[in-house]
Amino acid sequence: MSKLSVTKRTKVNRIPKRASYDKETVYEILDSTFICQVGFNIDGQVYIIPTAFGRKDDLIYVHGSNKSRMLNSFQNGKDICISVTLVDGIVLARSAFHHSINYRSVVIFGKPQEIISKDDKTKALGIIMEHIIPGRWNDVRQPSKKELDITSVFSLKIDEASAKIRTGMPADEKEDLSLNMWSGIVPLKFTACDPVNNIDLKENIPLPDYVKNYSINKNKI
């Protein structure tokens, strides 16, 4: 597997055996969700904002209004932090202390780069949409010049990142194994529900296969 360089910021110190610096592992986690948390600094005040993202190769893309405080702050040349977390299960131990959560998470650090040209911006927006719902981009009206002008798009290279993962059963103490209480895992997963037609949808418009068979886990490493 291709490895990411371990830095002071990405090194996992708490339970390091759960860390992974494999690019494939990081990409798989990123491709299993489309919402990230972005941490940034404005005049000494730290903010964390959730936003949609897309990944293509070793780049993360985010977008929003060109009046966005978050996106405008990206132009100050300071590093940002992006994180994602997938919750796979609630871990119920026999003791309160050993309750936990099975999860997969990624943290990325770096300086975002603004995408300026119309063609590159359009391509990046397509990457974001295809990351969220593959097949949709070629099925919609493309952004107009006006829409592009009021939209900011940034990329962040995935070269300073790490993953942290917890799997498995509760870590019960040996002396607790004889206690008369249930112990185990409540598995959780992200699942699409039945699509709902827009109230003003024209008649006889078929449901696209990419909607009918939607799954976020694209495994597009």
Per the DSSP assignment, residues forming a β-bridge with 65 are 151
Q: What is the mean pLDDT of residues 33-46?
A: 95
Residue 96 lies in a domain: no
Residue 189 lies in a domain: no
pLDDT recorded at residue 216 = 77
Spell out the residues 6+ positions from residue 31 whose beta carbon is closer than 8 angstroms to its own.
55, 131, 216, 217, 218, 219, 220, 221
CA-wise closest residue to 39 among 2, 84, 5, 6: 84
Q: Which residue in the block uniquely carries the two structure tokens 């977390």?
A: 85
State yes or no: pLDDT of 218 exceeds 90: no
Residue 125 lies in a domain: yes
pLDDT recorded at residue 45 = 95
State yes or no: pLDDT of 28 exceeds 70: yes
pLDDT recorded at residue 217 = 66
Contact 78, 87 (CB under 8 A): no
User: Hey, what are 43's tokens?
Assistant: 């005049």
Residue 6 lies in a domain: no
Residue 128 lies in a domain: yes
Look up the domain containing 83 and give its range.
Answer: 16-89+102-170
pLDDT tens for each residue of 124-177: 999 999 999 999 999 999 999 999 999 999 999 999 999 999 999 999 999 999
pLDDT recorded at residue 220 = 55
Residue 52 lies in a domain: yes
pLDDT tens for each residue of 72-127: 999 888 999 999 999 999 999 999 999 999 999 999 999 999 999 999 999 999 99
Number of compact structural domains in the chain = 1
CA-wise closest residue to 137 among 208, 205, 66, 36: 208
The pTM of the full predicted model, rounded to 2 decimals, is 0.93
What length is written for the chain?
Answer: 221
Average model confidence (pLDDT) for the chain? 94
C-alpha distance from residue 169 to each of 23, 65, 105 (Å): 26, 44, 18
Residue 9 lies in a domain: no
Residue 84 lies in a domain: yes
User: Hey, what are 184's tokens?
Assistant: 């185990």
